[in-house]
Structure 1
Amino acid sequence: MRYGSTRRLVVREKGALLAEEEYRALADFRHEIRRFQAFSEAHASKVGLTPQQHQALLAIRAADADQATVGYIAERLILKAHSATGLVDRLDALDLIIREVSPDDRRRTLLRLTPKAYDILASLSAVHREEIRRLRPLLLEIFDKFD
């Protein structure tokens, strides 16, 4: 360890130098990410979804038409294939998705949102957009501490 000017402690970790303000910025960033996650979880719960179900619906909505498969959900949500399959089964049971055979490759099953899912996702996404807009200046301030 060595001390820089004006009480700035600098620590060498694997060749990188981090200032105390960067540690604080990292802690602040992780805190804001967790606050957003808690916000998202609470709003998903209000409409009867688990956080993973909300994330899966959002992933399907954002995917290209031929991209939304169980494997894609597993990749986007960082899940094992069997966990993604269970999640998709639950979404199907809730009438939030439809499974369709791919017209290009009959071995692939594509996932589509139902009108019910579109409505739920639209309301959740509007609330999330407002929260992201609120967080943007704060996150930019944190990011500036790394310059």
Structure 2
Amino acid sequence: MPSKSASAKPSPLSKPDFEALSDFRYQLRRFLRFSEDAARDEGVTVQQYLLMLHIRGCAGKDWASIGELAERLQAKQHGVVALVNRCEAAGLVKRKLNTEDRRVVQVHLLAKGERCLNRLAMLHRTELESLRGTFRVARITAFNDDEAERD
């Protein structure tokens, strides 16, 4: 049986709701622009930076598979293969076959990629810290109405 909130018509958004959503998208876009500029200044693309970040950030291991990278980047596997090719040509990453499952290609960071990633990640952390408190939490009226019904 559908829940009451699933069948109920959502409340229209208020002017403050639109202002909060607009501000959130603006701050998010500012951060993304910062990221684009920082990557370009480092001599890589944003996608190359994200690929390196997701390799380093892969839980429990120091490599990532093409499939894991495709999921994290929200990209098609063949696009990720092309991106890995470009990163490999730039000396940022290398591929290895997984000894346990030869169908899996492991993508590892090389020393040049580690140095590049570390510089960019530190810049991104500093930028995120400078944004602390600037994101207003959007309290959308429709969600508030649902919460009020539960109380």
TM-score between the two structures when normalised by the length of structure 2: 0.81
Classify the secondary structure of the residue corresponding to 2:134: helix
Find the partner of 2:76 among 58, 80, 86: 80
Q: Tell me the residue number matched to 2:4.
A: none
**Cα shift at 1:66:** 7.3
**Cα shift at 1:78:** 1.0
Q: Deviations over 1:38-83 (max 9, x none)?
A: 0000000001101111111101110132761111111111111111
Q: Tell me the residue number matched to 2:88.
A: 92
**Cα shift at 1:102:** 1.1
Q: Which amino acid aligns with 2:134?
A: L
Higher strand share: 1
What residue ranges of structure 2 are gaps of 5+ in the alignment? 1-8, 145-151
Q: Report sequence identity in percent.
A: 36
Higher relative contact order (CA 8 A, sep 6+): 2
Structure 1 stretch 14-23 or stretch 69-78: which is displaced more? 14-23
What residue ranges of structure 1 are gaps of 5+ in the alignment? 1-13
Q: Deviations over 1:109-147 (max 9, x none)?
A: 1111001111111111111001101112111xx116457
TM-score between the two structures when normalised by the length of structure 1: 0.84
Classify the secondary structure of the residue corresponding to 1:138: coil
Q: Tell me the residue number matched to 1:143.
A: 137
Q: CA 1:66–1:130 in 2, change beyond 3 Å: closer, same or farther?
A: closer
Using the alignment, how far apart are the partners of 1:44 and 1:53 within structure 2? 8
Q: Tell me the residue number matched to 2:10.
A: 15
Using the alignment, how far apart are the partners of 1:25 and 1:80 within structure 2? 33
How many correspondences in the alignment? 133
Checking the alignment, whether the CA contact within 8 Å between 2:87 and 2:93 is kept in structure 1 is yes
**Cα shift at 1:23:** 0.7
